[in-house]
């Protein structure tokens, strides 16, 4: 029997551009956060490009201060990877460690268990509100901002792909649509 549905078109999947904050907005969020633990969380989310779940399952031993790397174990897709560790974030993490003395997980909630995802979401929302950012900010926006700012600084897409843990270069290429420097090189027709 012939298929009667060949003429019906499949709906197209909508593609949304990633939400990105400016460097200034992220710095304002970090500076507006007075709680050391929360400030370290926001700083790590942005400066490493971690997903919220990767931040929550990170252990103290995943910070490699000698090589200035953060090991991400069993990220999305069950893959391990390394990402960058900034000196300023390392100084804050050391101060945090001396104050809170985490045992297993880097950021522990009550009873030594990892923080909940909703708590991290609230921390980011509160920091954005204190910084005067009107749009809704999520932890994943910090990851998108990390990738976009690296691209704007001239980092090769292949390195960004490795740092974010993406399999496909197509996923990484979407940041070219929001990088400002890509638009700055195009000459305006009215000039």
For residue 96, is it within any domain?
yes
Q: How far apart are CA 47 and CA 70, in angstroms?
A: 11
pLDDT of residue 25: 96
Tally of domains in the chain = 1
pLDDT greater than 60 at residue 186: no
Averaged over 1-20, what is the pLDDT?
71
Local confidence band at 67 (pLDDT 50, 70, 90 cut-offs): very high
At 171 the pLDDT is 66
Whether 72 is in a domain gets the answer yes
Q: Please indicate whether residue 114 or residue 38 has the higher confidence score (pLDDT).
A: 38
| 41: exposed, middle or buried (Cβ count in 10 Å: 0-12, 13-18, 19+) | buried
Contact 141, 20 (CB under 8 A): yes
Q: Residue 28 belongs to a domain with what CATH number? A: 1.10.443.10
- pLDDT value at position 66? 94
Residues 73, 62: contact at Cβ < 8 Å? yes
- List, as one string, the DSSP characters of 53-97: HHHHT-BGGGEETTTTEEEE-S-TTS--EEEE--HHHHHHHHHHH
Tens digit of pLDDT for each residue in 154-173?
Answer: 888 888 888 888 877 666 66
Q: Which domain holds residue 73?
A: 23-140
Q: What is the structure's pLDDT at 172?
A: 65
CA distance 190 to 187: 9
Is residue 157 one of the residues assigned to a domain? no
112-130: average pLDDT: 92
If 0-12 CB within 10 Å is exposed, 13-18 middle and 19+ buried, where does residue 110 land? exposed
């Amino acid at each position: 029997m012939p298929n009667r549905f060949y003429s019906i078109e499949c709906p197209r999947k909508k593609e949304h551009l990633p939400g990105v904050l400016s460097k200034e907005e992220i710095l304002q969020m970090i500076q507006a956060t007075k709680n050391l633990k929360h400030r370290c969380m926001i700083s790590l989310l942005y400066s490493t490009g971690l997903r919220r779940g990767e931040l929550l399952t990170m252990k103290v031993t995943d910070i490699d201060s000698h090589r200035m790397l953060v090991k991400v174990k069993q990220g999305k897709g069950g893959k391990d990877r390394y990402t960058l560790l900034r000196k300023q974030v390392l100084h804050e993490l050391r101060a945090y460690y001396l104050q809170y003395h985490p045992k297993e997980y880097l950021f522990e909630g009550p009873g030594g268990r990892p923080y909940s995802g909703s708590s991290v979401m609230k921390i980011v929302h509160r920091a954005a509100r204190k910084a005067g950012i009107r749009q809704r900010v999520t932890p994943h926006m910090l990851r998108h901002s990390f990738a976009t700012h690296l691209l704007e600084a001239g980092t090769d897409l292949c390195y960004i792909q490795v740092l974010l843990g993406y399999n496909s270069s197509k996923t990484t290429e979407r940041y070219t649509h929001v990088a400002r420097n890509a638009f700055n090189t195009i000459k305006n027709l009215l000039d």
